[in-house]
Structure 1
């Protein structure tokens, strides 16, 4: 999913909230688990008094220590422009309840509108980067870009180090996802605005010793 290319940027008008009480810090050693199941994410960015958000289906954890992530961001997007200017981004994991907003921000540009406000998405501040964290999501990764300009130019692939991680404590605890009800299920984009949602949580039997 990618946003269309635009023209004149505008200042943000979307609502900034205090960080909700149920949003708790996640040990960076376990941060990869927030996106290890392959959800579509909202990529947020901010620079020079402007901020933006887009949807990205192609993202993944990349390393444990320090934790790193990879995400594909099309060269024509305003989100990418702000990320390259600031050196920062955030990955926010949206839910089934936000599917319309996810689809909307994946198809429109933020140069001539505040996409967060247009999609009725409120945000709260992170602790380490200026990119806003989208309220109503179930997990958030604050990231700083790694210096890999060739990969970005050749493949539109951005690598970043996770410097802070957060999760909804009602759904992620002790480094593990808990059973999630339907409205809070994560989204997994197929194509054309069609998504799968997260299914049942199952555990394999422990391997036999010897």
Structure 2
């Protein structure tokens, strides 16, 4: 006899972890949504309800980041932040969370996947986050980089630093790696400048 009634709760975070494991073993492009549904023991319909696109499995939790950024930006208003303020106000809370070994291991897995499939960095929620952060920057003076360019550069530099940390950063926290990379970019004594 088949059980009737409400199906058991599905753990979306666990499904995303299963997908990350599959992506790590087989590559993002080679894994199908059917493969993920089977490995996670959920129906294809449930999988698509929770994760409408395969890339959403990689970015599980990004909506929480977006919501935090929106709240923080609303608190700050047009604060006139500079690059360091953006790092302090928006990135540091998440980078500090990576001091937890379990969170760091999951982040490293995601970052390695992003390094192998950089098209994943084009996720629309990342663009939403970028647009919200832009509203907190100081307006640019003539001859200076416009705020959208500053924010996109900070995000790109942060991701690059984190991808390096995921591969080589043992003995260094994600926050330390990010600060070191952004300081190096800001060093105007660079002979290439």
TM-score, normalized by length of structure 2? 0.29
Asked which structure has the greater RCO (Cα within 8 Å, sep 6+), the reply is: 1
